[in-house]
Structure 1
């Protein structure tokens, strides 16, 4: 019914997209430096440690922090 001639490009340059949107866009360089873990002043030996609590402290420090320091269970 409608006669259209389509031209398919396999590669369209990024500037063509920006010109079509009429944006003055500069690429963003994300900051990919890892977040440093906080240094806490916590004495884990203030109370008697069970083996499971000590094992958690040694192997899963963040879980220990949430469970025993923040008391989030």
Structure 2
């Protein structure tokens, strides 16, 4: 993504505000975007949060837990 972290954060804030108010149309700068559903807004928010973490270098780590069951023979 070619946007700066500040631009991504601003767009993310606008989307979260729209999600919280139930609005499906978001204006950011000169761009007007109309979403089809709340699920689509949630998916875009998740993608933007992932992009912002990647740009900032703070992506989430995955933890894998191993469990062993049985008698241990």
Q: TM-score higher than 0.5 here? A: no
TM-score (norm 2): 0.23
The structure where helix makes up a greater share of residues is 2
Question: With CA pairs under 8 Å and 6+ residues apart, which has the higher RCO, 1 or 2?
Answer: 2
- Which of 1 and 2 has greater Rg? 1
